[in-house]
Amino acid sequence: MGTSVQVTPLCGVYNENPLSYLVSIDGFNFLIDCGWNDLFDPSLLQPLSRVASTVDAVLLSHSDTLHLGALPYAMKQFGLSAPFYSTEPVHRLGLLTMYDHYLSRKQVSDFDLFSLDDIDAAFQSITRLTYSQNYHLSGKGEGIVIAPHVAGHLLGGTVWKITKDGEDVIYAVDFNRRKEKHLNGTVLESFVRPAVLITDAYNALNNQPPKPQRERDRDFVGGGNVLLPVDTAGRVLELLLVLEENWSLKSLNFPIYFVTYVSASTIDYVKSFLEWMSDAIAKSFETSRDNAFLLKNIKLLTSKSELDSVSDGPKVILASMASLEAGFSHDIFVEWAADVKNLVLFTERGQFGTLARMLQADPPPKAVKVTMSGRVPLTGEELIAYEEEQNRLKKEEALKASLIKEEESKASLATDVNSSDPMVIDTHNKHPSLDGLGQHGSRFRDVLIDGFVPPSSSVAPMFPFYDNTSDWDDFGEVINPDDYVIKDEDMDQGAMRTGGDMDGKLDEGSASLILDTTPSKVISNELTVQVKSSLVYMDYEGRSDGRSVKSILAHVAPLKLVLVHGSAEATEHLKQHCLKHVCPHVYAPQIEETIDVTSDLCAYKVQLSEKLMSNVLFKKLGDYEIAWVDAEVGKTENDMLSLLPISTPAPPHKSVVVGDLKMADFKQFLASKGVKVEFAAGALRCGEYVTLRKVGVASQKGGGSGTQQIIIEGPLCEDYYKIREYLYSQFYLL
């Protein structure tokens, strides 16, 4: 009877690879997360490529590469075309993260896995939801309701709840229970007994040190610089706020710089995401209209040149990427690593196999090999060669174009029906180019020149003239209905298009990179960097640690639990733990292994007749009201089962004692009634003689009996009955 649920991991199980999972609910395939690592290794996406076309909807949970990095690539290469769902910040910051990645890569390599247009295209089709919005899917997914909930960790971070027929499937990775400066803690704990919970084992073996230790106080040893490799738009927000506050409090005047290709627009957007942030931030805005992200102490830089012009002297730089594989952080690291005065401060564990991860090893490596690449303008012979090549291309093209035009003009003179525009044909000429971007300008020039190439048939140069002859049929001119569609929408469309393109609000630096027409090439050289600067790791990753993950899991107590994302040891550890303390059904599937977590729940619906309900007396117990019913099954007119009052006397039933006794609470309760109570040898001694004990505590919520066993014993005396009376008052008897 239950809803069928299957989970197939596509990436990121038994290791810390990016996350990507296929969850199929009654045949409707959700792709939850679509991550890639900072190395952009296409081999990781093999499993995804095989199923991409069958995906019906994509849910994104966080805005970093590990959760959505492969989206543009998958859209382009694998034909992933399902609708996407995410929260507004995940959409927006995810877009910026991808821009930053692309620009960082493009700067140093001929990166061609995806382009900015691919990123834009991928993010255009997203449906944005707000937290706790119940979104009813239609069509194939009829009856399925999806709802994002607060996850903590990153701005807009989402715990997805997928509901069908009252059964919940919850996907919760990288959640954070702790309330932070800019984020509220997760609401995962408010879900109780979902049918399936998919969660990560990433932090199962990590336990955070207590908070005071984490409070940073950074000394500047002898005027060194501090580099914090950060992500583009995720955890960095929290760090910015922490630094901003510290700097204001202690009135430090070392400059802080936040350097990514998109830092300015990141902060601009983040300023308008107050709805998604913590209550404290919302409140401070409501009362004083102080936007927390109006950063006073932090300067935003978006290009290398700006960074170079920064004055010397001790400073703090937050730069992307966190992995040190690319971006500003990579360059700065190489530059600074050799100086003992400098400090590299990691705030989260680096992705597996990246430079950051290598440096976080214990003990840190003395020297690391890095590849320095850069885009340099062509000079000397190369430039000449390039220009020649360009010229050759241009000539070829011009020749080709003129040939075509010749034909065309002939054609048009012969009033043959061909009204196409030369421009169109021109664009069909694909240039085999060294640098697609650099081509832009020259091609444009070609077009201009093209226009003035005299048709061979004409005597003198003249503007090309093409007769737009129209088709005639028996009814007169052929009417193309499209011509008459009112183009009212067009303006808006156009505005939105530009909007879409300009969404990223590319900062000047990056814009210049894209529009850069100077011919350039990528040079790489491998060099070994002596790591002399100090390396410090401070945990600011904003995920719940092992202990709190376990306690959350025990609280949520899913009927079935699926573990993903985490090293093999961590996964195994958490699996064993959960088998013992959470529920008997714990799964940790391998990549592409489909597991069936369909609940074996039986259920049917009945109508409660008015007559029956008028005889039912509810007892209130917290949020619940409970009652015992004995009823006879009947049918309503529309063939529904209904419950009617029973005609024969109800059969006796074993009485049910409902309630949850907490010994400590009960002790207080008794004390308040004037009974002398104390704990002795695991039992509660009440008064002189009576003892109260709880045996076989139901630690395993999901399985076992789940019934508390309470033993009260004592000699026959008045106290005994009194205490029994108090004990009964803690329960409801049905």
Partner 1 sequence: MTSTGQPPSLKRRDAPLTKEGDQLTITPLGAGNEVGRSCVYMTYKSKTVLFDCGIHPAYSGMAALPYFDEIDPSTIDVLLITHFHLDHAASLPYFLEKTTFRGRVFMTHATKAIYKLLLTDYVKVSKVSVEDMLFDEQDIGRSMDKIEVIDFHQTVEVNGIKFWCYTAGHVLGAAMFMVDIAGVRVLYTGDYSREEDRHLRAAELPQFSPDICVIESTYGVQLHQPRHIREKRFTDVIHSTVSQGGRVLIPAFALGRAQELLLILDEYWSSHPELHNVPIYYASPLAKKCMAVYQTYILSMNERIRTQFANSNPFKFKHISPLNSIEEFSDVGPSVVMASPGGLQSGLSRQLFDKWCSDKKNSCVIPGYVVEGTLAKTIINEPKEVTLMNGLMAPLNMQVHYISFSAHADYAQTSTFLKELMPPNIILVHGEANEMGRLKQKLITEFTDGNTKIITPKNCQSVEMYFSSEKMAKTIGRLAEKTPDVGETVSGVLVKKGFTYQIMAPDDLHIFSQLSTANITQRITIPFTGAFGVIKHRLEQIYESVESSTDEESGVPTLRVHDSVTVKQDSDRHISLHWTSDPISDMVSDSIVALVLNISREIPKVVVESEAIKTEEENGKKAEKVIHALLVSLFGDVKLGDNGKLMVSVDGNVAHLDKQSGDVESENEGLKERVKTAFRRIQSAVNPIPLSSS
Task: Name residues contacting partner 1, limited to 684-713 (CB under 8 A).
Answer: 698, 701-702, 705-713
Q: Does 727 interact with partner 1 (rule: CB under 8 A)?
A: yes
Q: Does 366 interact with partner 1 (rule: CB under 8 A)?
A: no
Contact 140, 28 (CB under 8 A): yes
Contact 533, 342 (CB under 8 A): yes
Q: Does 272 interact with partner 1 (rule: CB under 8 A)?
A: yes
Looking at the Cβ atoms of 290 and 678, the one nearer to partner 1 is 290
* Span of 72-80, 363-371, 451-459, 640-648 interacting with partner 1 by CB under 8 A: 640-648
Closest to 164 measured CA to CA, from 150, 181, 146: 146
Looking at the Cβ atoms of 121 and 644, the one nearer to partner 1 is 644
Contact 92, 124 (CB under 8 A): no
The CB-of-286 to partner 1 minimum distance in angstroms stands at 5
Q: Does 147 interact with partner 1 (rule: CB under 8 A)?
A: yes
Closest to 329 measured CA to CA, from 220, 234, 231, 218: 231
Q: Does 529 interact with partner 1 (rule: CB under 8 A)?
A: no
* Span of 284-292, 318-326, 372-380, 407-415 interacting with partner 1 by CB under 8 A: 284-292
Question: In DSSP terms, which residues pair with 641 in a beta bridge?
Answer: 635
Looking at the Cβ atoms of 285 and 466, the one nearer to partner 1 is 285
Q: Does 339 interact with partner 1 (rule: CB under 8 A)?
A: no
The CB-of-586 to partner 1 minimum distance in angstroms stands at 16
* Span of 39-47, 444-452, 475-483, 490-498 interacting with partner 1 by CB under 8 A: 490-498
Helix pair angle (263-271, 88-108), 10° resolution:
180
For residue 722, with 0-12 CB atoms within 10 Å meaning exposed, 13-18 middle and 19 or more buried, which class applies?
Answer: middle
For residue 706, with 0-12 CB atoms within 10 Å meaning exposed, 13-18 middle and 19 or more buried, which class applies?
Answer: exposed
Which stretch of DSSP H or E encloses residue 367? strand 367-377
**3-state secondary structure at position 6:** strand
Count of positions on this chain that bind partner 1 (CB under 8 A): 99
Closest to 695 measured CA to CA, from 661, 648, 727, 720: 661
Q: Does 479 interact with partner 1 (rule: CB under 8 A)?
A: no
Looking at the Cβ atoms of 134 and 456, the one nearer to partner 1 is 134
Q: Which of 517, 616, 665, 699 binds partner 1 (CB under 8 A)?
A: 616
Q: Which of 660, 679, 699, 718 binds partner 1 (CB under 8 A)?
A: 660
- What's the number of CA atoms in the CB half-sphere (13 Å) around residue 319? 26
Q: Does 680 interact with partner 1 (rule: CB under 8 A)?
A: no
Q: Which of 250, 312, 605, 718 binds partner 1 (CB under 8 A)?
A: 605
Q: Does 632 interact with partner 1 (rule: CB under 8 A)?
A: yes
Q: Which of 604, 681, 697, 718 binds partner 1 (CB under 8 A)?
A: 604
Q: Does 655 interact with partner 1 (rule: CB under 8 A)?
A: yes
Task: Name residues contacting partner 1, limited to 288-317 (CB under 8 A).
Answer: 289, 291
Contact 384, 272 (CB under 8 A): no
The CB-of-685 to partner 1 minimum distance in angstroms stands at 15
Q: Does 430 interact with partner 1 (rule: CB under 8 A)?
A: no
Closest to 157 measured CA to CA, from 209, 207, 211, 86: 86
Q: Does 83 interact with partner 1 (rule: CB under 8 A)?
A: no
The CB-of-168 to partner 1 minimum distance in angstroms stands at 12
* Span of 98-106, 321-329, 395-403, 655-663 interacting with partner 1 by CB under 8 A: 655-663
CA distance 279 to 283: 6
Q: Does 514 interact with partner 1 (rule: CB under 8 A)?
A: no
The CB-of-88 to partner 1 minimum distance in angstroms stands at 6
Q: Does 515 interact with partner 1 (rule: CB under 8 A)?
A: no
Closest to 19 measured CA to CA, from 78, 64, 56: 64
Looking at the Cβ atoms of 399 and 627, the one nearer to partner 1 is 627
Task: Name residues contacting partner 1, limited to 5-44 (CB under 8 A).
Answer: none
Looking at the Cβ atoms of 251 and 648, the one nearer to partner 1 is 648
One-letter identity of residue 658? V
Helix pair angle (508-515, 88-108), 10° resolution:
50
Q: Output 334-339 pairs: Cβ under 8 A, ≥24 positions apart.
A: 334/370, 334/372, 334/527, 334/529, 336/225, 336/227, 336/533, 337/368, 337/529, 337/530, 337/531, 337/532, 337/533, 338/529, 338/530, 338/531, 338/532, 338/533, 339/224, 339/225, 339/532, 339/533
